[in-house]
Amino acid sequence: MAGKVLTATDGNFDDIVREHPVLLVDFWASWCFPCKMIAPTIEELARDFEGQVTFAKLNVDENPETARKFGITSIPTLVLFKDGKVADKVIGAVPKEHLASRIKMHLQ
């Protein structure tokens, strides 16, 4: 299951953050066109950073509690957690290279 992207929910979110030292969460919704545009990039990055970063997607419509907790008002919003704390946040469908460089900053 190389490059697997986890499904985060209100129910399992805290456990996923706790279990994965470096985690990038894609906050998205099914009706969001930019979210659909960035989805393949998230899957590619999950393969590229396999073994270093865990990737998860959280549907904000189905999981409003977690979205509210992290102040998600625009989607897609990508939040990078390091050791359980928010380390970085990127809003919008940005190029793969931009996301990769932001992730690499937190792996050093």
Give catalytic residues, as residue numbers. Answer: 32, 35
Let me know how long the chain is. Answer: 108
Using an 8 Å Cβ cutoff, are 81 and 25 in contact?
yes
First to last CA, the chain: 26
